[in-house]
Chains A and B, each alone.
Chain A
Amino acid sequence: MSDPALLSLAEARSVPPRELLQACRARIEQWQPRINAFIEVDENPRGGGVPLAHKDMFYRAGRVSSCGSKIRRDWVANETSAALERLDAAGFADLGRLNMSEFAYGPTGHNEHFGDCRNPWNPDYITGGSSSGSGAAVAARLVFGALGSDTGGSVRLPAAACGITGLKTTWGRVPLRGALPLSPSLDTIGPLARSAEDCAILLQAIAGDGGLQGKSEIRIALSSAWIERNAEPEVAAAVLAAAKTLDRNPVEVAPPDFDTLSAHCLVVMQAEASAQHAQWMRERPGDYSSAVRSRLEAGYAIPAASYLEVLRLRHAALERFCAQTLGVADVYVLPGIGVRVPTREETGSKGGERMPRMLADLTRLTRWVNYLGVPALVVPCGFDSRGLPLSLQLVGRPFSETLLLAAGRAYQRATDWHRRVPA
């Protein structure tokens, strides 16, 4: 292979870092005008190992961390996030700050302050958010991996829409210190990379343990009738085929109540995000985009009793999922996104009447996972008829990341979707 930027992270570790940096810089120069994945490329990157870059919400002492916002456009952090400290200690280079949805509160990748991030497979389409730059930069092979955060799908949606692998970690698995908070009861940090194997390397660095759990047979559960009824046909066909690749005889189970669990997630997310932003919402509401301001307004009338009742119910919902959905299986599989990747126009501020429905469809299969606090891995499983990626989501028990990554690796050994590179 002539371009070292196209190697996997695992392979890149044996290439001289200077060559990797040069190759990544050349690709950034070529791709950045087209996809707007970076907010800032560091002239003098920190560290000398395999190049990574991260969503601009992981603080680094002395460096600006805009959080994708106007409010923090020039804000300089006075501490370095725990996740970045661990990646530094593991010897990775940090090439710069990646684009993201404003304050990590949007599922599409639109950003009116820094410009929309655009999908490398077709810039008319969304990248997914809120870790939009992480998804786009890894997919276009500008860096070997990136950190994202996931409160309602923000690692998995960009991974799904950009055709890469993304891991939402178990709540509490990776320390949140020094990362922008959105909804602390739901916030998680996870890697986006080119394969499950690469995600495992990054997880090991940021979680202090991890890797890939060897298991001879991984039992898969799915709800194929629900998928056929509710997902778009191209999505359903790809996901059901992928499930068969993982397990010839998957267990059919009743689906979790995605919509009720998503509603619980939203109650928690809206209440906590609005509390987090209360001071700025009082003092400078005009500095938010209208979309984020609207989302934040929505949290101020959530009754405290409802919020706490939903949190009191969380343990029962988790126990039900593990006992019923995963009763005889290790992993529950479903689409990452139940619909095909939409365009930037139809999900943007001029998207019209259908826009709210489209946003709801986008997050329908991710939010419920955050309410349960469990880990989930998204891997690419095909392309639709327009050439946009399709994705498979694997959900496991708390702290089962290594098993999910092993399942992802097994799938990627049998397929080559993760090796496809946008031209």
Chain B
Amino acid sequence: MVTAKQWSAEAVEMVLAAQGIALAPGRAERLARAYQGLLEASAADPLLAGLEFDATPTGFLLAMQKCR
């Protein structure tokens, strides 16, 4: 999982500009903080440590049937 420590306002602005998305003034800083919080919270899941190499997003469909 990519953690958010490397995010800065400049990085956010650049990534969005590269996709043609213009940000309102002051938004980049708030977004950088939000990314940091969100991605760190997501990365804190202990399940990630046991994520198998062969796991794919489609495994979820099988799990839905298995857990019925």
Contact = CB atoms under 8 A, between A and B. Distances in A.
A126 to B, nearest CB: 22
Interface in B43-57: 43-45, 47-48, 50-51, 55-57
B38 A318 contact: no
Given A301-B15, A301-B31, A306-B2, A373 B60 contact: yes
A315 B55 contact: yes
B47 A313 contact: yes
Classify chain B's interface size: 35 or more
Chain B, interface SS category: helix
Interface in A389-409: 397-400
A33 B2 CA distance: 49
Chain A, interface SS category: helix
Interface in B12-68: 12, 15-16, 19-24, 27, 31, 34-35, 38-39, 41-45, 47-48, 50-51, 55-57, 59-68
Given A306-B2, A311-B57, A315-B62, A278 B19 contact: yes
Given A306-B1, A311-B60, A397 B21 contact: no
A316 B39 CA distance: 19
Nearest to A322: B67
A260 B23 CA distance: 28
A316 B47 contact: yes
Contacts of A298: 31, 34-35
B14 to A, nearest CB: 9
A417 to B, nearest CB: 30
Contacts of B7: 301
A306 B44 CA distance: 12
Interface string A249-288: 0000000010110011011001000000010011001000
B39 A267 contact: yes
27 contacts: A170-B64, A172-B61, A260-B42, A260-B44, A264-B45, A266-B38, A278-B19, A278-B21, A282-B21, A285-B21, A293-B24, A298-B34, A300-B19, A301-B12, A301-B35, A302-B35, A303-B2, A306-B42, A306-B43, A308-B57, A313-B47, A314-B57, A316-B47, A319-B66, A319-B67, A322-B67, A399-B68
Interface of A: 170-172, 185, 257, 259-260, 263-264, 266-267, 270, 278, 281-282, 285, 290, 293-294, 297-298, 300-303, 305-306, 308-320, 322, 373, 397-400
